[in-house]
């Protein structure tokens, strides 16, 4: 009976925890994609109103292109280098976006543009969604990593599933754990 109990350790719980973490990672990616889509519209709106900010707009556009080119699949979640590369690209985009939004302060017409205000609001909401998705992903990774390292599930995790720890998402730039401030005074 004890052999039967040990044999079933982690058979279902390990893959269930792994799939939960992968689903949470998909949520993180979806929120970053949402942000990327909004940034395109934001850049176009700013471009029309703030011709002097071309250099900043180019940096944001380049950072957006790099951030969307770095992809991490669910299978890559146990590779800290791939996750770090994704985090770094997203952090660079956050910094460029922060510079763009800070520079917009000099343009009162833009700050009252309804399209810009709507994009600003959507972007702020998306940054909050990103923070929640990352928190949920990290919680799921912690549960999975704990499950594959603790008895009795560690037995099945190692022998049956060949489970490897997943990499949590970590802030890679100062202040990256906080959504950028996008309040333009209004």
For 126-179, what is each residue's pLDDT tens digit? 999 999 999 999 999 999 999 888 888 888 877 777 889 989 998 665 455 555
Residue 181 reports pLDDT greater than 90: no
pLDDT above 90 covers what percent of the chain?
Answer: 30
3-state secondary structure of 59: helix
pLDDT digits (tens, 9 = 90+) for 85-116: 999 999 888 888 888 887 777 777 776 777 88
Q: How far is CA 6 from CA 11, 15, 17, 150, 154, in A?
A: 10, 17, 18, 13, 10
Please give the pLDDT value at position 173. Answer: 53
Of the candidates 166, 6, 185, the residue with the CA atom closest to the CA atom of residue 107: 185
Q: Is the pTM of this model over 0.95?
A: no
Tokens 């800290």 sit on residue = 80
């Amino acid at each position: 009976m004890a052999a039967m109990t040990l044999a079933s350790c982690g058979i279902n719980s390990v893959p269930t925890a792994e799939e939960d973490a992968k689903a949470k990672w998909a949520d993180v990616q979806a929120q970053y994609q949402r942000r990327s889509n909004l940034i395109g519209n934001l850049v176009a709106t700013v471009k029309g109103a703030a011709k002097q900010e071309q250099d900043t707009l180019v940096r944001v556009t380049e950072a957006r292109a790099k951030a969307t080119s770095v992809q991490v699949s669910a299978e890559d979640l146990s590779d800290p280098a791939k996750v770090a590369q994704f985090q770094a690209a997203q952090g660079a985009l956050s910094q460029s976006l922060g510079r763009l939004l800070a520079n917009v302060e000099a343009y009162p017409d833009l700050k009252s543009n309804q399209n810009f205000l709507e994009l600003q609001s959507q972007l702020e909401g998306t940054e909050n969604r990103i923070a929640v998705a990352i928190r949920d992903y990290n919680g799921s990774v912690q549960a999975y990593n704990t499950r594959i390292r603790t008895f009795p599930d560690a037995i099945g995790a190692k022998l049956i599933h060949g489970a490897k720890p997943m990499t949590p998402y970590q802030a890679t730039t100062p202040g990256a754990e906080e959504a950028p401030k996008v309040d333009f005074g209004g």
